[in-house]
Amino acid sequence: MKLAFAVAVNVSIIASIVILIHEYRRKTERKYLIGAAVFAAMFLVILGSTIADIFSLGLPALIHRASDIVAVPVFLAAGAVIYSIAASSKEIINESQIKAQRYVSQGNFAMAKEEIEQAIAANPNDALNYYALGVIHYNLKQFGKAQKNLKQAVFIERNNADAWFLIGRIYYEKYDFDKASKYFEKAIEIEPAMIKARFGLASILFERGLIDKASHHYARIIEVDPMNANAHYNLGSCYLEKELYREAIREHEISAGLDTNNAYAYYWIGYSYIQLDDRKRAGQAFARSLERGYEGAAEALKDLI
């Protein structure tokens, strides 16, 4: 019986280590890993176990998954405690990074750059430093240096979706849409709910006439953020391209409701009603567009007379 218990507990120890590694790679919040580790360590000290006893003991703990906000029960052992503390310390923000953040918030990118360069000199293997330096160079309009540092960041940490996105954004601003698309797609692969990457990719797809694919991304944005006026407006534009006028009206009306100053949304509502041969509603929509400052709506109103 005692042997069976010992085997079961040691199996749970191995499982706990595997789970901790998995949770660390999934970017579980470090404070929960550290909290579980400290709890286990204190328990072991109080217990006064020998080294041999430690590795035959399973300790219950709860680790919080940042991804789905669900507490996951695991058995935590001494070996896992050591690993979690070591792993969690890798991404602790250092003093230079804190100072750099302060300088960035003040718009002082030159001083922020100096602080991050000092951080890189102290720890050249920290992906966060290269990402931060890439963001700083981007804000300084030094796009070549920005891309160099951002690519170093993703070389070290492949799951940095923000770095992949910003590289794509730079290519987008250089009108290199092929490369921009690839980086946006990688960012979305890592973080499917990344709205800015989906907007970037959808705009490229729309311009290339790939309306169904663009529609897909705008619809996904709306799933994440139903109150996103731009996503509804752009999805309405996709429906216009496909001559689905009722669907276009629906999306543009939602957009106009969320952004009451959007003159263009009202104009396209009017245009869609013209296509549906509803001149009265078209006139009402054009009038609202004109009220909000779009002069093109005046010509549309004249055509209705």
- What pLDDT score was predicted for residue 218? 98
Instruction: Give the integer Cα–Cα distance in Å for 114 and 272.
Output: 54
- What pLDDT score was predicted for residue 57? 33
Res 83 pLDDT > 70: no
- What pLDDT score was predicted for residue 93? 66
Res 264 pLDDT > 90: yes
Res 7 pLDDT > 70: no
pTM assigned to the model: 0.68
- What pLDDT score was predicted for residue 95? 83
- What pLDDT score was predicted for residue 224? 97
3-state DSSP: the chain helix, strand, coil percent, rounded to 5?
Answer: 75, 5, 20
Angle in degrees, CA 85, 14, 29, rounded to 5: 35
User: Lowest mean pLDDT: which of 75-84, 136-145, 184-193?
Assistant: 75-84
Task: Give every CB contact of residue 301 below 8 A, 6+ residues apart in sequence.
Answer: 283, 286, 287, 290
| Segments making up each domain of the chain, as ranges | 2-90
- What pLDDT score was predicted for residue 94? 74
Q: What digits encode the pLDDT tens for the residues 89-148?
A: 445 567 888 888 888 888 898 899 999 999 999 889 999 999 999 999 999 999 999 999
* Pair 217, 202: CB distance under 8 Å: yes
Which tokens go with 4?
Answer: 């069976």
Task: Say how many C-beta atoms besides its own lie within 10 A of residue 22's C-beta.
Answer: 12
* Pair 251, 239: CB distance under 8 Å: yes
* Pair 142, 119: CB distance under 8 Å: no
Got the DSSP string for 153-192?
Answer: HHHH-TT-HHHHHHHHHHHHHTT-HHHHHHHHHHHHHH-T
Averaged pLDDT, 270-279: 97
User: Lowest mean pLDDT: which of 108-112, 132-136, 190-194, 230-234?
Assistant: 108-112
Q: How far is CA 273 from each of CA 248, 277, 293, 294, rounded to the nearest angstrom?
A: 10, 6, 20, 18
